[in-house]
Amino acid sequence: MFFGFEQKDLEKGKQAFRTDATHDTEEVPVFTWGDESYDGLGDALQEGGDELNDETFGSVGLVGKDFDFSNTTLPKSSGLPNEQALPPQKFAEPASSDTLYALRRKQDFTTLDSDQPFSSSSQSAESIWDNRSLLSSLPQLDGIFNQSKQAFAEAPVSELPMPQTQKWAPQSSNSGIRTLEEIEAEMRAAAHQSRVQQRELSLQQQLQQEEDRRQQTLHEQELQRQILHQQEQQHQLYLQRLLQQREQQYQRSTPPRMLPASQSPRFLEQQRQLLLLQQQQRAQELQEQLMLEEMERQLLARAALQQQHRQSPIPPSHHRPPSLTPDVYGYQRRQTRSQSPMNNDHRYPGIPQESSPFPSPQNIQLQQRLLSEMAQAEFIRNIQNQDGQGINPVEQEALRAEAMRKILEAEKMEEKRRRKAAKIAYMSRYNDLMTQSDKDFITRIQVSQLVTQDPYADDFYAQVYGAILRSRMGLQSQDERVLIFGSGGGVGLGLNGPKGGGRRPSAMQRMEQQVERIVNNTRKREEEKGVHALQSLQGALGKTSGRSYKAAPRQLLQVDPASGASPAISQAQAFKDPGDRVSNGAEEAAKLGRATLGKAADTTNLIRREPLTQRETLTILEHLYDLVLHVEQLRRDHSLAQDEQQTVEWQQQYDTLVDEIWDSLRVMVPLETSDPHPFISLLIPGKGKRLLPRITRHLSDQKMMTLLTLLVACFSQLDVIKQASVIDYSQDTLERAEAERQTQAFLGNAFQCILPVVAKASLRLVTGLLGLLLDRSNIIMVAQTRPGLALLTLFLSRVELIKADMVNVPEEFEVPTPEEAQQWQLVYDHFFQLLGPHFPMLFPSARMATATDGQVSFDIIDQPAWHFFAALGLHAVPEQQHVLITALREKILDNVTSANKGWVRNDEERQLKLDNVNLLLHVLNLDSSLIVL
Amino acid sequence: MDPSSSSIQEPFDLIRLSLSERVYIKLRGDREVTGVLHAYDGHMNLILSDVEETILIVDPDSATEAPVPVNVAKRKMDMLFVRGDGVILVSPPSRA
């Protein structure tokens, strides 16, 4: 039966809320449920300036509201003058009534009277206040009150019609605007005393209420009304207590959805806000009145001042020092303070129009004008005084200027200060809009996008680039710049990393905590579900509506609770039959070893295959890249291994991977399997060439030796040899550019990784390699390419070094046997003989000249050829030297002539030409200067 | 070869094979591009270097009866970002 009424009221209330637009803006509840960091708006209302409460609450009489144009705070009483809305003055209140009750009653009457036809909005206000109380049936009660007013007036206590101020006096005198909590505290105390009585009464009251409803137009007797009144009061207290308890409860734990609608936090919040709004409105009224008063006072003072000035003789006591500024400031400060008593302690500058009214622009202007006029007046006064003391007009003028300047300065300062204050106020409009939990929530989302299981790999490029930069700058290379959290997650810090000091550490700490929480939550959820599907992580961090984060490329946190393995690098595929392959490899190694010495490769039990297709090559290369990345990651993780066992495990893992790489490189595949050999095929794409140095870092010397042997044996199969003739065209075609690029890549990468192997090779090996090259390749063609020439030069200079070492430090060096030396000489002779007729063609310029008219400067591109000839000349016996000189005579003479006769563009070119020639001639103990034309 | 077949599981694996290789790309709006592929993502955004772009320009106003003349415009760029929504086709260049 109560229920029916309630529902009706709520329905009406809802409608009222919908229709009343102003309501909506005001009553949007702020949800801070169950949060420790509830912002405590209610508490914040308790503000300074209590000393003026007397003025506010009555001593100045009724506060008009006709200046309150915005009038958004209490829309129910809108449009009606306040006097009309305050019948409690006419209505005699029983003296025993509680203050809260008075407040409530006043309000009820306010709303009731202002909306004479009981519109839904008035009821909605009540439904906000108290759904269950008797007040919800106030339309009826009001009738009762009206009818019993006369009888009431006869009652002895209520004979004195109390003015509103007296009713408010007890509260305002001690604490000013009171918060709901305070009121509640009072109520609680009262309730405690009368708890026993109250139970009875509430019972009675229910009965009474039923009766009331039944006889709606009932004429109540005085006694009954009083009882009712009392009951109502008790009920109010009871309800208050209940509400408070509930509030505390839900603040502690209860999820908001569990509460029935009427008791939902939203409802409570609305109630709280209503009270708050009323208080704010009152405060505002107070402010405005104060301001007005202040203005009036100022105007009066100003008038008086001006009058004073006009009546010239000023008493000497008014004489002030000429410097005005401090005084002006003081005055101003006083002014400001007195105008806004809340300014001293406004914790919420975000809502200045309510809690801390800034002076309106007009007001400020007026104030400014006042100030300047005051200053001027003072100045005039001073002048006048000084006049009396006989100061000359020049000084006067100076003083005037000085004073004006000071005034202007003061004004400027003031303007600046005001602008600053306005800006701060503007910026702080949205202060405290978000609670700490809101911020945490957002941080969590953001952080979850950053944290990964393998921070190093995910930040790979930045990390590597940073390491390179640091090493280039000569800083000692710290290891990984990543932030690893306890539970395995981490964040890559990019290039800069955290800068120490300041607030960063605490931010880091906070982030770490957040991450801990996320990771733990995710784990927990994972365990609960028992499924390791990736989908189960969806929504692990709470729901975020909207698509923004889904559109982000990175997935939510990817934590695999089962393994700590890096997800960034795909698991290395387990390779099949390792034992089988190894044994095969051993056989092949043996074969290759024989091949190294220039003997024919064993071609028995050889399976010829088609060469690798382009796609196969690329696939293998991608696989190799995966493996290499994995191995490199392992190398970095090496430092993490602490004890013996871990190191052993690590070593095993590492070896397995390196073996797999070795197998994938296909170095051990028999030589004649295909043309090009699979390994050579892998070197054809640019990325294959670039990959090789990264692989060879992990290979043993023995393996490197094998690799080098294979490379030399199949040298002519390389694309850079086959395609080399393309470079000799001087036309700028795509093809040529590509060949150029490949050659560069080969020389810069693949060739670099065989350098150290050759540099350690014995004479026997070098002899074998050169023999192999001569045997298996068209040496003339190879020598006409840049990589070929480089390789040959490498061999020749290595042998030269060995020879030098034999002479210089024979005890340290593994001296080659005479047979080996003899073998070398044989191979060399053979080589010289083969190449002899083609010497001039080894110059790129010579080859190009045949293709084009040769306008280009060739000296730079010819340099490797000169180097080669120098190396060749070192080993040559005198007859061979003679052959060499004869073959190159024309070229040498050409260079020297050009240099001497000045057929060069500049000195640099001339020098280059001579240097090139001298490279060779010095080896033969000659010099270009000896050549006489 | 076993790894070559097993490591290809999705179409993007094929594009991965062409990383740092020259590729031919057909784009919407009668454009073609060849260049060295450096990076790609799930949207088929591509980063190419050493690019040559070919644009086919058809001028329908000139003649309605006769076969419409097609002009070819080419330009070269060192580095290019190709937005994925325009990509129709990615292929290794034909090896004649």
User: What domains sit in chain B, N to C, each tagged with a CATH number?
Assistant: 12-84 (2.30.30.100)
Exposure string for A708-728, b = 16+ CB within 10 A, e = fewer: bbbbbbbbbbbbbbebbebbb
Q: Which residues pair with B81 in a beta bridge?
A: B47
Query: For residue A617, what is the nearest residue in chain B, using CA coordinates?
Result: B4
Positive or negative: CA dihedral A488, A492, A497, A502: negative
CA neighbor of A769 nearest in space, from A848, A686, A828, A810: A828
Q: At A334, which amino acid appears?
A: R
Q: Please write the tens of the pLDDT for every residue from A619-659.
A: 888 889 989 988 888 887 776 667 778 888 888 888 889 99
pTM of the model as a whole? 0.49
Q: At A424, which amino acid appears?
A: I
Q: Which residues pair with B71 in a beta bridge?
A: B57
| Cβ atoms < 10 Å from Cβ of A933 | 7
Question: Which of A437-441, A464-468, A506-510, A719-723 shows the lowest mean pLDDT across its residues?
Answer: A506-510
**Chain A: closest CA distance from residue B81 (Å):** 18
Residue A579, pLDDT > 50, answer: no
Q: How far apart are CA A227 and CA A229, in angstroms?
A: 5
Contact A623 B7 (CB under 8 A): yes
User: Can you spell out the DSSP letters for A699-743?
Assistant: S-HHHHHHHHHHHHHTGGGSHHHHTHHHHH--S--HHHHHHHHHH
Averaged confidence pLDDT in chain A: 68
Distance of CA A11 to the CA centre of its chain: 47
**Residue A160 binned pLDDT confidence (cut-offs 50, 70, 90):** very low
Q: How far apart are CA A201 and CA A179, in angstroms?
A: 28
CA neighbor of B21 nearest in space, from A618, A691, A733, A665: A618
Contact A553 B20 (CB under 8 A): no
* Residue A822: per-residue pLDDT: 82
The 8-class DSSP code of residue A133 comes to S
CB A224 within 8 A of CB A260: no
Out of A139-143, A178-182, A309-313, the most confident range is A178-182
Query: For residue B3, what is the nearest residue in chain A, using CA coordinates?
Result: A620
Q: At A591, which amino acid appears?
A: K
**Chain A: closest CA distance from residue B66 (Å):** 35
The share of chain A scoring above pLDDT 90, in percent, equals: 3
Q: Is the peptide bond before A676 cis (omega within 30 degrees of 0)?
A: yes
**Beta-carbon contacts of residue A708 (< 8 Å; ≥ 6 apart):** A754, A757, A758, A769
Question: Which of A58-62, A179-183, A790-794, B6-10 shows the lowest mean pLDDT across its residues?
Answer: A58-62
Q: How far apart are CA A683 and CA A674, in angstroms?
A: 14
For residue A618, give the nearest of B17, B42, B50 by CB distance. B17
**Residue B87 binned pLDDT confidence (cut-offs 50, 70, 90):** very high
Contact B19 A614 (CB under 8 A): no
Residue A755 in tokens: 């350098």
Higher pLDDT: A172 or A876? It is A876
What does each C-alpha distance from A815 to A255, A756, A763, A771, A823 come to in angstroms?
89, 20, 9, 20, 14
Tally of residues, chain A: 933
Residues of chain A with C-beta less than 8 angstroms from the C-beta of B4 = 615-616, 619-620
**Chain A: closest CA distance from residue B44 (Å):** 13
What does each C-alpha distance from B17 to A250, A619, A633, B12 come to in angstroms?
60, 6, 22, 9
Q: How far apart are CA A824 and CA A712, in angstroms?
A: 17
For residue A620, give the nearest of B4, B19, B95 by CB distance. B4
Is B89 touching A (CB cutoff 8 A)?
no
Question: Which of A23-32, A771-780, B20-29 shows the lowest mean pLDDT across its residues?
Answer: A23-32
Is B16 touching A (CB cutoff 8 A)?
yes
For residue A619, give the nearest of B8, B22, B92 by CB distance. B8
CA neighbor of A829 nearest in space, from A762, A880, A871: A880
Contact B3 A618 (CB under 8 A): no
Contact B17 A553 (CB under 8 A): no
Contact B22 A573 (CB under 8 A): no
Residue spans of alpha helices (H) in A431-568:
436-450, 455-458, 460-472, 504-529, 548-551
Residue A827, pLDDT > 80, answer: yes
Contact A686 B20 (CB under 8 A): yes
Q: How far apart are CA A256 and CA A413, in angstroms?
A: 52
Q: Please write the tens of the pLDDT for every residue from B1-59.
A: 444 455 677 888 888 888 888 899 999 988 999 999 999 998 999 999 989 999 988 87
* Residue B49: per-residue pLDDT: 92
**Chain B: closest CA distance from residue A349 (Å):** 47
Residue A348, pLDDT > 90, answer: no
Q: Please write the tens of the pLDDT for every residue from A379-393.
A: 677 666 655 555 678
For residue B3, give the nearest of A553, A623, A690 by CB distance. A623
Give φ, ψ of A699 to 5 degrees: -95, 150
Q: What is the mean pLDDT of residues A796-809?
A: 80
Residue A665, pLDDT > 80, answer: yes
* Residue A339: per-residue pLDDT: 44
Contact A623 B19 (CB under 8 A): no
**Residue A69 binned pLDDT confidence (cut-offs 50, 70, 90):** low
Residue A288, pLDDT > 60, answer: yes
User: Can you spell out the DSSP letters for A319-359?
Assistant: ---S--HHHHHHHHHHHHHHH-TTGGG-S-TT-TTTTSPPP
Residues of chain A with C-beta less than 8 angstroms from the C-beta of B18 = 618
Higher pLDDT: A523 or A266? It is A523
Which helix or strand (DSSP H or E) is residue B77 part of? strand B70-82
Q: Which residues of A touch B (CB under 8 A)?
A: 553, 573, 576, 612, 614-616, 618-620, 622-623, 664, 685-687, 690, 734, 737-738
Query: For residue A688, what is the nearest residue in chain B, using CA coordinates?
Result: B20
Q: Tell me how far apart the 2 most distant CA atoms of chain B are, in Å.
A: 57
Contact B21 A687 (CB under 8 A): yes
Half-sphere exposure of A779 (CA within 13 A, CB side): 20
Angle at A68 between CA A65 and CA A73, to 5 degrees: 100
Query: For residue A620, what is the nearest residue in chain B, using CA coordinates?
Result: B4
Q: How far apart are CA A374 and CA A302, in angstroms?
A: 8
Q: What is the mean pLDDT of residues A798-809?
A: 79
Q: What is the mean pLDDT of residues A246-275?
A: 55
- By the 10 Å C-beta count (0-12 exposed, 13-18 middle, 19+ buried), A615 is classed as middle
- DSSP 3-state of A876: coil
Angle at A185 between CA A184 and CA A191, to 5 degrees: 85
ipTM given for this complex = 0.84
Q: Please write the tens of the pLDDT for every residue from A880-932.
A: 888 888 888 878 888 788 777 766 667 777 777 778 888 778 877 777 777 66
Contact A738 B22 (CB under 8 A): yes
Angle at A910 between CA A908 and CA A916, to 5 degrees: 100
For residue B17, give the nearest of A622, A690, A738 by CB distance. A622
Q: Are strands B22-27 and B87-91 parallel, antiparallel or unpaired?
A: antiparallel
Residue A276, pLDDT > 90, answer: no
Contact A619 B1 (CB under 8 A): yes
Q: How far separated are the first and last CA of chain B, in Å rounded?
A: 24
CB A661 within 8 A of CB A695: yes
Residues of chain B with C-beta less than 8 angstroms from the C-beta of A686 = 20-21
CA neighbor of A602 nearest in space, from A618, A620, A616, A589: A589
CA neighbor of B57 nearest in space, from B82, B29, B95, B81: B29
Is B78 touching A (CB cutoff 8 A)?
no
Residue A782, pLDDT > 80, answer: yes
Is B91 touching A (CB cutoff 8 A)?
no
Half-sphere exposure of B78 (CA within 13 A, CB side): 0
CA neighbor of A356 nearest in space, from A336, A378, A331: A336
CA neighbor of A765 nearest in space, from A739, A735, A795: A795
Query: For residue B9, what is the nearest residue in chain A, using CA coordinates?
Result: A619
Contact B19 A573 (CB under 8 A): no
Q: How far apart are CA A591 and CA A713, in angstroms?
A: 13
